[in-house]
Amino acid sequence: MKKSIIIFFSSLTIIACNKQIDAIKPLTQIDAEGELSSVAGIVEATTGNYSLLQGYSFITPYDAPMINIGEGRGNNVTLQQFGPPTKQTDAFFFQNSSGQTTGYSSDFYRGSYQVIVGTNLVLEGIVKMEKDGFASLSASDKNKFLYAKGENLFLRALTYFNLIRVYGKPYYQDAATSSGVPLKKTSSVKDNPAPSTVKETYDFIINDLQQAAQLMKAPVTKSNAFSNTAAAWSLLSRVYLYMGGSVASPDANFNRLGVTYSDSVTNQTGAKYALLHGQDYYKMFGDDSDGSLGKTNFSGNKEIIFAQDNATGSSAGSYIGMIFNTDVINGSTATYIPSSDFKSLIVANDIRATFLKKNENTGYVETTKYLSVTYQTITYAPQIYFRLGEVYLNRAEANAKLGNYQAAKDDLKAIHTRAGLPASDIDNVANQNLLAAILKERRIELAFEGHASFDYFRNGLPMTRTAADNNGQAVTIQPTDPKVVFTIPNF
């Protein structure tokens, strides 16, 4: 990316604005007038928007707060060191603090709208070019232009989805009337909408993704460090899973759509994607602290549909590393370590046991999913947003809620057996117990990837931590507890 396009936000300075988002203002420095009126400039600015998902910078971080909130509020992790809540542990204690020094909510909220304003800025340039110059473009430039439009719609939808699952109630809880997040659709600092409803937010996300999926069918070749049609379908399968109702009262229509979009990923992408097995599967998440696994170079990984590349560029690395790994050389202590409850789920011969490693400096077991190339504080491992393993589990859950038990078992069995476990484990599950088995498998397979707490609450299930994982105090958070929903920060 050229140094000429730099998007900053004056929200780096705290400005009181009564819960509005007018402090999230774009300051765009462009070396030539009308940069966004050229295809090259649009493509370049789009690439810059991907970098806003990354958090190794003094600029408002996005990725580490998202993972911290998603995992910290679940039961796959516990604290390495217990004490009063801090910014790093605020989510674990369900304090949901929005202050700059007391919680990650403000960082996450500000970082989210940084991405949204960036995508809106590029989309405005795209709209202008559609009116003024699209017809005169070459066929190649038209394809790049359309693909870039799809990428920005996808990035905006992904960001709004992550916002609504933090700041909105689970969809089954009165989505049409419950408060969601502001749908900022322009880059203007004067555009400060009130929060939309949860339903309106989901509708907006779906509309963006459906457009994005079609636009990114343009014949443009990019690595899986960039979004694509399959990534849009993957997110749609996840969105409809979140809309699919509680375990007690599933929504058949939304679950059917979840199956449809999962089918699109598996059936309409040729041989592009496949579940990894054996050593290839291990290399995706194993200990790569010496770089021998090549985890940072994931372009040839057939299971990863879309991931953030943390290994290249001027700001390589992500702060996610310090959430899960202690690095005594650099003086960092892991915030979270795998809980005893989670570790008890891993049975003999499960390859996923190799994704846990004892840190000899501390004596604590840690996840290896973010260990990469000597750094533990700043990881170079990719942040995987979408992979085929999740798509299989999305479809399994949706089919189980629809009563399509054999189809659900087939997908569950694919994940279970590739972990080295016997097919009979799944064949012997009674239909009435199948959904619970899928959620258990999901908990193990997607551990530490940002799903843990949401999978309970969206399903209308309580999240329980045992006393051993909560400093001697058992904790249960009901899905209807107000603490499940963050309050929008008041900057």
- Per the domain annotation, does 326 fall within a domain? no
Side chain identity, residue 232: A
Question: In whole angstroms, what is the distance from residue 101 CA to residue 481 CA?
Answer: 25
Residue 167 carries which DSSP code?
A: H
Averaged pLDDT, 245-270: 98
Question: In whole angstroms, what is the distance from residue 142 CA to residue 146 CA?
Answer: 6
Query: Which of 88-102, 415-429, 433-447 comes out lowest in average pLDDT?
Result: 88-102
- Per the domain annotation, does 218 fall within a domain? yes
CB-based burial, 171-198: b 16+ in 10 Å, e otherwise: bbbebeebebbbbbeebeeeebeebbbb
Of 202, 200, 182, 201, nearest to 192 by C-alpha is 182
Strands (E), 102-178: none
Averaged pLDDT, 49-58: 75
What is the per-residue pLDDT for 402?
Answer: 98
Q: Is the pLDDT of residue 313 over 90?
A: no
195-251 confidence digits (pLDDT tens): 999 999 999 999 999 999 999 999 999 999 999 999 999 999 999 999 999 999 999
What is the per-residue pLDDT for 376?
Answer: 61
What is the per-residue pLDDT for 55?
Answer: 62
Query: Which of 24-28, 159-163, 391-395 comes out lowest in average pLDDT?
Result: 24-28
Question: In whole angstroms, what is the distance from residue 277 CA to residue 139 CA?
Answer: 40
Q: Is the pLDDT of residue 356 over 90?
A: yes
Q: Is the pLDDT of residue 258 over 60?
A: yes
Percent of the chain whose pLDDT exceeds 90: 82
- Per the domain annotation, does 76 fall within a domain? yes
Query: Which of 24-33, 316-325, 364-373 comes out lowest in average pLDDT?
Result: 24-33
Of 263, 252, 257, 253, nearest to 402 by C-alpha is 252
The number of folded domains in the chain is: 1
- One DSSP character per residue, 236-304 reads HHHHHHHTSB-SSSB-HHHHHHHHHHHHHHHHSSTTS-----HHHHHHHHS-BTTSTT-TT--TT-SSE
Of 74, 89, 77, 92, nearest to 343 by C-alpha is 77
Residue 86 CB neighbour total at 10 angstroms: 17
- Per the domain annotation, does 28 fall within a domain? yes
Range of the domain at 205: 6-227
Q: Is the pLDDT of residue 24 over 80?
A: no
Q: Is the pLDDT of residue 306 over 70?
A: yes
Averaged pLDDT, 26-49: 72
Query: Which of 250-264, 365-379, 422-436 comes out lowest in average pLDDT?
Result: 365-379
What tokens appear for 446 in the block?
Answer: 């997607």
55-86 confidence digits (pLDDT tens): 655 455 799 999 999 999 999 999 999 999 99
- Per the domain annotation, does 199 fall within a domain? yes
- Per the domain annotation, does 101 fall within a domain? yes
- Per the domain annotation, does 327 fall within a domain? no
What is the per-residue pLDDT for 14?
Answer: 28
Mean pLDDT score across all residues of the chain: 90
The answer to whether the CB of 122 falls within 8 A of the CB of 41 is: no
Query: Which of 65-74, 259-268, 368-377, 378-387 comes out lowest in average pLDDT?
Result: 368-377
Look at residue 460 and give its three-state secondary structure. Answer: coil
The answer to whether the CB of 100 falls within 8 A of the CB of 14 is: yes
What is the per-residue pLDDT for 5?
Answer: 32
Averaged pLDDT, 462-466: 97
pTM of the model: 0.93
* Domain CATH number, residue 51: 1.25.40.390
Of 323, 305, 315, 312, nearest to 66 by C-alpha is 323
Phi first, then psi, for residue 304 (nearest 5°) are -80, 120
What is the per-residue pLDDT for 490?
Answer: 81
Averaged pLDDT, 123-152: 95
Query: Which of 25-29, 240-244, 422-426, 450-454 comes out lowest in average pLDDT?
Result: 25-29
What is the per-residue pLDDT for 13?
Answer: 29
What is the per-residue pLDDT for 312?
Answer: 86
What is the per-residue pLDDT for 61?
Answer: 75
What is the per-residue pLDDT for 10?
Answer: 35
What is the per-residue pLDDT for 482?
Answer: 97
Q: For residues 93, 99, 104 and 110, what is the CA-based torsion angle, rounded to 10 degrees?
A: 150
What is the per-residue pLDDT for 12?
Answer: 31
Averaged pLDDT, 361-382: 87
Q: Is the pLDDT of residue 411 over 80?
A: yes
What is the per-residue pLDDT for 180?
Answer: 97
The answer to whether the CB of 377 falls within 8 A of the CB of 393 is: no
* CA dist list (Å): 325 to 47, 307, 453: 29, 20, 20
What is the per-residue pLDDT for 332?
Answer: 84
Residue 432 CB neighbour total at 10 angstroms: 8
Side chain identity, residue 197: T
Residue 256 CB neighbour total at 10 angstroms: 16
Q: Is the pLDDT of residue 140 over 90?
A: yes
Query: Which of 86-100, 303-317, 380-394, 395-409 comes out lowest in average pLDDT?
Result: 303-317
Question: In whole angstroms, what is the distance from residue 231 CA to residue 275 CA?
Answer: 16
Residue 24 CB neighbour total at 10 angstroms: 25
- Per the domain annotation, does 121 fall within a domain? yes
